[in-house]
Amino acid sequence: MKDDISAKIAANPKYEKLVSMRSTYSIIMTILIMCLYYGYILLVAFNKEFLATKMGAGMVTSIGIPMGVGVIVLTILITNIYVRRANSEFDDLNAEIIKEANK
């Protein structure tokens, strides 16, 4: 019985679509996060002078502080975007596939 349902799911074209969409989306989001994070780390490693630049005359805060906070905020935002899409579009398609397999 269980193998029969697995075979129905694997044969469903919607399953192929789900796997493809989810994989592509995950790869794009991962690359985006890696570029953001490693770009900041490379900036820290190779251009400390830029990050140490004060934000304005008489200010104590350097440019690196808001950029670091920006990396954290953008990471949270990108994660939120992924989770929202996964919980709506991907889960809806998954439910359709399971419903069709149980018929």
What is the block-wise mean pLDDT of the chain (103 residues), using blocks of 10 residues? 81 93 94 95 94 88 94 95 93 92 84
* Alpha-carbon span 40 to 67, nearest angstrom: 8
* Alpha-carbon span 28 to 85, nearest angstrom: 13
DSSP H/E element including 33:
helix 13-46
Look at residue 1 in the predicted model and tell me its pLDDT.
57
Look at residue 85 in the predicted model and tell me its pLDDT.
93
Look at residue 102 in the predicted model and tell me its pLDDT.
86
* Alpha-carbon span 98 to 79, nearest angstrom: 26
